[in-house]
């Protein structure tokens, strides 16, 4: 792991046994760490719970139906018709707020208005445009639909069932928690989420996230132009693969999940080639067959 200079921790679980757990950098496995864009996967899980509780009618619900109050009067034409699925799969069609545009966006006085007044560069629901602004719109819509802040949702709907602490994080000037970046979790708690994904939404004997949502999350909806991997709801395949392809050196996409459970043959082969070329021998030995992994 010394060669993976940006990896702070790696945990591998097979069945109920942790077969590898090291934190060569950073504060350790039980200290809070900024999970960066893994936050997008957390927001996607919260969307699944909101749909299950019928606070949102479904992923085809439009922004104008779920949270019309957050749509600015001067929003770009078509914004009101963007669906929850468009947002959670990063296919909103709006110009990206990530990458080279991130600094400008985060410095704006109103993050939601800035994101929703950007030009349409693709038809909503078509091309993947990796953008924290899209996830932030989704998070604000969740807050409006549920009547709870994103922090309150995360603590009640994830923190409680997983017995994990979720501290406050960055909010915009309108009071909405930043959706898609800056959340903090303990690496040891990220492994719990990975186990839940592996087990179809179950954890500690309870169905925490609907099984149907986990299945839908791992169905390929689009493909990342950065990693070439399939992308589902807030991660999906990146939930399961990006952890081994690396974090910031590819694009900061999601890190936690089950390695092989839903990969097609081509992606299994791609992952195997990368593993043999990049991972230290003791990690290669641990990551075999279907192991559950969390990395940061």
Confidence class for position 240, pLDDT limits 50, 70, 90: very low
Which residue in the block uniquely carries the two structure tokens 């069945």?
A: 15
Both tokens of 180, joined, read 């898609």
**Torsion angle, alpha carbons of 98, 104, 109, 112, to 10:** -20
Residue 148 confidence (pLDDT) above 50? yes
The reply to whether 195 and 291 lie within a common domain is yes
**Residue pLDDT, tens place only, 102-113:** 999 999 999 999
The reply to whether 45 and 158 lie within a common domain is yes
Residue 64 confidence (pLDDT) above 60? yes
The reply to whether 25 and 73 lie within a common domain is no
CATH number for the domain harbouring residue 121:
3.40.710.10
At 197 the three-state DSSP class reads helix
Confidence class for position 47, pLDDT limits 50, 70, 90: very high
Confidence class for position 223, pLDDT limits 50, 70, 90: confident
The reply to whether 221 and 282 lie within a common domain is yes
Residue 256: the pLDDT is: 38
Domain annotation covers residue 273: yes
Domains of the chain: total: 2
The reply to whether 41 and 157 lie within a common domain is yes
Both tokens of 285, joined, read 């030995």
Residue 295: the pLDDT is: 57
Residue 238 confidence (pLDDT) above 50? no
The residue-averaged pLDDT of 256-274 equals: 47
Domain annotation covers residue 211: yes
Pick from 282, 271, 229, 275: which is nearest to 253 by CA? 229
> Does residue 223 contact residue 128 with C-beta atoms inside 8 Å?
yes
Residue 7 confidence (pLDDT) above 90? no
Domain enclosing residue 142, as ranges: 37-162
């Amino acid at each position: 792991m010394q060669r993976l200079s940006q990896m702070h921790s790696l945990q591998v679980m097979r069945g109920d046994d942790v077969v590898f757990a090291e934190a060569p950098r950073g504060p350790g496995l039980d200290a809070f760490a900024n999970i960066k864009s893994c936050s997008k996967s957390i927001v996607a899980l919260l969307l699944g719970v909101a749909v299950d509780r019928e606070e949102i009618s479904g992923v085809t619900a439009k922004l104008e139906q779920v949270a019309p109050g957050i749509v600015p009067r001067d929003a770009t034409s078509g914004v009101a018709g963007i669906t929850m699925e468009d947002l959670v799969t990063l296919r909103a069609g709006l110009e990206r707020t990530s990458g080279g545009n991130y600094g400008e966006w985060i410095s704006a006085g109103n993050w939601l208005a800035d994101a929703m007044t950007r030009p349409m560069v693709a038809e909503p629901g078509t091309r993947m445009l990796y953008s924290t602004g899209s996830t932030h719109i989704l998070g604000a819509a969740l807050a409006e639909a549920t009547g709870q802040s994103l922090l309150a949702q995360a603590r009640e709907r994830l923190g409680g069932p997983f017995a994990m602490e979720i501290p406050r994080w960055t909010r915009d000037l309108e009071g909405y928690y930043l959706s898609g970046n800056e959340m903090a979790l303990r690496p040891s708690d990220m492994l719990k989420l990975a186990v839940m994904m592996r087990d179809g939404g179950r954890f500690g004997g309870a169905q925490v996230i609907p099984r149907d949502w986990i299945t839908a999350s791992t169905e390929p909806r689009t493909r990342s132009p950065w990693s070439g991997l399939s992308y589902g709801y807030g991660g999906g395949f990146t939930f399961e693969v990006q952890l081994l392809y690396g974090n910031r050196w590819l694009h900061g996409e999601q890190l936690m999940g089950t390695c092989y459970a839903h990969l097609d043959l081509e992606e299994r082969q791609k992952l195997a080639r990368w593993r043999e070329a990049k991972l230290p021998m003791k990690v290669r030995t641990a990551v075999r067959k279907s192991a559950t992994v969390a990395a940061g």
